[in-house]
Amino acid sequence: MKKLLLSILFLVTAFGLYAQVQISARADKQILTLDDELTLTVRITGISGRVTAPQLPSLPAFNVYSRSEEQTIINGNTTLVFHYTMLPRFVGRTQIGPVRFMYQGKTYETEPISISIYRHAPNTPEPQTATPGKNAGPAPSSQRADPHLPPLEASLANQSYAKRGEPFFLVAAVSNKRPYVNQPFTLAVRFYYSQAFAGGTYQKPAVADMLMEDMGKSEGTQSIGGTLYRYTEQRYQLTPVSAGRVTIGAGSVNYRDVSDSPLLAFDRLLGLTAAGPDQTATSAPMVISVRELPAAGRPESFYGAVGNRFRISASAEPRQVPAAEAVNFQVTVQGVGNLKVSQNLRFPSLDGFKIYPAAPVSGHGVDGDGSLNGYITFKAVLVPAASGIYTIPAVDWSYFDPADGAYHTLQTEPISLTVTPAVQAQNEVNFGNVKSGGPGFQALAQDIAYLKMNFDPREGVLVRLSRLAWLNGVGLLWVALALLFALLDRNKLARKKIFLTAKNRLKKASSGQEVADIVSVYLVEKLGIHTGSLPLKEIVSRLEEKGVTPATAESFALLWEHLDAERFAPAGAATSAVDLPLQAQNTLRLIEEETR
Could you tell me whether strands 185-193 and 286-290 are parallel, antiparallel, or unpaired per DSSP bridges?
Answer: unpaired
Assess contact for 216 and 278: CB atoms under 8 A.
Answer: no
Q: Distance of CA 32 to CAs 148, 515, 535, Å?
A: 11, 31, 20
Predicted local distance difference test score (pLDDT) of residue 488: 54
DSSP annotation of 534: -
Taking the C-alpha atoms of residue 59 and residue 64, their distance in angstroms, rounded to an integer, is 9
Taking the C-alpha atoms of residue 517 and residue 502, their distance in angstroms, rounded to an integer, is 10
Say how many residues make up the chain: 596
Taking the C-alpha atoms of residue 194 and residue 197, their distance in angstroms, rounded to an integer, is 9
Predicted local distance difference test score (pLDDT) of residue 464: 62
Which DSSP string corresponds to 125-160?
Answer: ----SS--SSS--PPP------TTS-HHHHHHHHHH
Q: Distance of CA 235 to CAs 220, 232, 458, Å?
A: 14, 10, 75
Work out the average pLDDT over 50-67. Answer: 83
Assess contact for 250 and 282: CB atoms under 8 A.
Answer: yes
Taking the C-alpha atoms of residue 421 and residue 414, their distance in angstroms, rounded to an integer, is 23
- Residue 151: burial class (beta carbons within 10 Å; 0-12, 13-18, 19+): middle
Question: CATH 2.60.40.10 region(s) of the chain?
Answer: 22-118
Assess contact for 356 and 389: CB atoms under 8 A.
Answer: no
Indicate the pLDDT class of residue 312, thresholds 50, 70 and 90: very high
For the domain covering 302-420, report its CATH number. Answer: 2.60.40
Q: Which of 247-256, 279-288, 417-426 has the lowest mean pLDDT?
A: 417-426
Which DSSP string corresponds to 389-449?
Answer: EEEEPP-EEEEEETTTTEEEEEEPPPEEEEEEPP---------TT--B-STT-B-------
Tens-digit pLDDT profile for residues 472-501: 666 677 767 766 665 555 566 677 788 888
The pTM score is: 0.56
What is the fold, at CATH topology level, of the domain defined by 151-290?
Immunoglobulin-like (2.60.40)
The domain made up of 22-118 is a member of CATH 2.60.40.10: yes
Work out the average pLDDT over 171-182. Answer: 94
Report the half-sphere exposure of 479 (CA within 13 A, side-chain side).
6
Tens-digit pLDDT profile for residues 573-583: 445 556 888 88
The closest of 99, 100, 104, 98 to 50, measured between CA atoms, is: 104
Taking the C-alpha atoms of residue 491 and residue 476, their distance in angstroms, rounded to an integer, is 23
Q: What is the 3-state secondary structure (H, E, C) of 247-262?
A: EECCCEEEEEECCCCC
Q: At 292, phi and psi to the nearest 5?
A: -75, 145
Assess contact for 388 and 350: CB atoms under 8 A.
Answer: no
Predicted local distance difference test score (pLDDT) of residue 136: 43
Predicted local distance difference test score (pLDDT) of residue 139: 46
Q: Which of 192-201, 314-323, 439-448, 484-493 has the lowest mean pLDDT?
A: 439-448
Q: What is the 3-state secondary structure (H, E, C) of 293-333?
A: CCCCCCCCCEEEEECEEEEEEEEEECCEEECCCCEEEEEEE
Predicted local distance difference test score (pLDDT) of residue 366: 59
Residues 6+ apart with CB under 8 A from 429: 444, 445
Predicted local distance difference test score (pLDDT) of residue 245: 93
Q: Which of 71-75, 230-234, 473-477, 591-595 has the lowest mean pLDDT?
A: 473-477
Tens-digit pLDDT profile for residues 3-18: 554 454 444 444 444 4
Assess contact for 183 and 176: CB atoms under 8 A.
Answer: yes
Cα 331 to chain center, whole Å?
A: 27
Work out the average pLDDT over 418-438. Answer: 55
